[in-house]
Amino acid sequence: MKFIKINRDTWYRKEYFEHFLNQQTTFSITNEINITNLMKNLKKKDYKFYPAFIFMVTKIVNSHREFRINFNSEGTLGYWTEMCPCYTIFDKKTHLFSGIWSPCTPDFTEFHTSYEKDVEKFNGTGSLFPKTPIPENSIPISMVPWSSFTSLNLNIRNGGDSLNPIITGGKYSEVNDEIFMPVSLQIHHSVCDGYHASVFMSDLQRMADDSADWIS
C-alpha cells in the first residue's frame, strides 16, 4: 500500500477540486441493487451476506482511483494504491455498534474467513473502535439491516479534509421473487462527480449479477 501525491497545480481536476472543496459540497445517490443471484450463490456455499457486500464495495473502490483520493495524516493530497474496509458491526445486547477493519484481499473466501475472525474477536467490546490503529487507507462501510430507505445522507465534516466515499446498505426486500437492497453512496464533489457515482452503482450491480465468478 502506497500513498501517491497529487500535484494540485497541474492536476486536470484542479478547478473542480478547489471549487467544490471550498464549498464543501457533498452529495449522495441511492440505488436499489438486485441481489437475487448474489443471495443464491452465497446460500450455495453457506456464506454470509454482509462480508460479501463489504468485499464488493472494497473491490470497486480499489478499481477506481477517484474513490481513493484523500488527504493523508500530513495534509497532503493524493491517492492510496489500495484501500481496506472499515465497517460497522452490531452488538445485539447493548444495541451499540463498533467500527472495525479487515485486511484487503482479492480472494473472497480468504476475506470471509478474516471477517469472521475479526467479528468474533471485537464484537461486544463496548468500544467504538476496538481494533486499532485504524489504517489511513480505509473506506467506511456500514449496514442498516432493520430498515429500507429510498435516500440516506451521512456527512463527515472533520475540518473539510475527509474526501472518502461513504457506503451504506439497507434492509432488502422481495418483489416478484427477486431481492432488492438499497445502497447509498455519499461522496465529496471535489473528487467525484455524478458520472463516478453511476460507475460505482453499475459495478456493484454487475458484481452481484456475476457473483458466481468470485464466490468460490
Burial label for 111, CB within 10 Å (0-12, 13-18, 19+), is: buried
Whole-prediction pTM: 0.96
CA separation, residue 53 to residues 6, 50, 73, 205 (Å): 30, 5, 28, 11
pLDDT digits (tens, 9 = 90+) for 54-86: 999 999 999 999 999 999 999 999 999 999 999
Residue 27 near residue 189, CB atoms below 8 Å: yes
Mean pLDDT of the chain: 96
The edge-to-edge listing of strands for the beta sheet with 3-5 is 3-5, 77-80, 69-71
pLDDT value for 4:
98
Residue 183's region, left for phi above 0, alpha for psi from -120 to 50, else beta, is: beta
pLDDT of 156: 75
- Terminal Cα distance for the chain, rounded: 26
Q: What is the pLDDT of residue 88?
A: 98
Return the domain boundaries, the chain. Answer: 3-213
Q: State residue 155's pLDDT score.
A: 77
pLDDT at residue 159 in the model: 62
* pLDDT digits 0-9 by tens, 132-164: 999 999 999 999 999 999 999 887 766 667 899
**Phi, then psi, of 30 in degrees rounded to 5:** -125, 130
b/e map 86-99, b = 16+ CB within 10 Å: bbbbbeeeeeeebb
How far is 88 from 29, CA to CA, in rounded Å? Answer: 20
Residue 91 DSSP symbol? -
H/E stretch holding 84 reads strand 84-90
Question: Which pLDDT band holds residue 168 (cuts at 50, 70, 90)?
Answer: very high
Pull the grid cell for residue 46: 453457506
pLDDT at 14: 98
Judged by average pLDDT, the poorest of 59-63, 90-94, 151-155, 194-198 is 151-155
Q: Phi then psi for 100, rounded to 5 degrees?
A: -125, 170
What integer pLDDT is reported at residue 210 of this predicted model?
98
Is 19 annotated in the active site?
Answer: no
CA neighbor of 134 nearest in space, from 85, 168, 167, 91: 85
Fold of 3-213: Chloramphenicol Acetyltransferase (3.30.559)
Which member of 19, 188, 189, 196 is catalytic?
Answer: 189
pLDDT at 12 over 80: yes
Question: Around 27, how many Cα atoms within 13 Å sit in the side-chain half-sphere?
Answer: 14
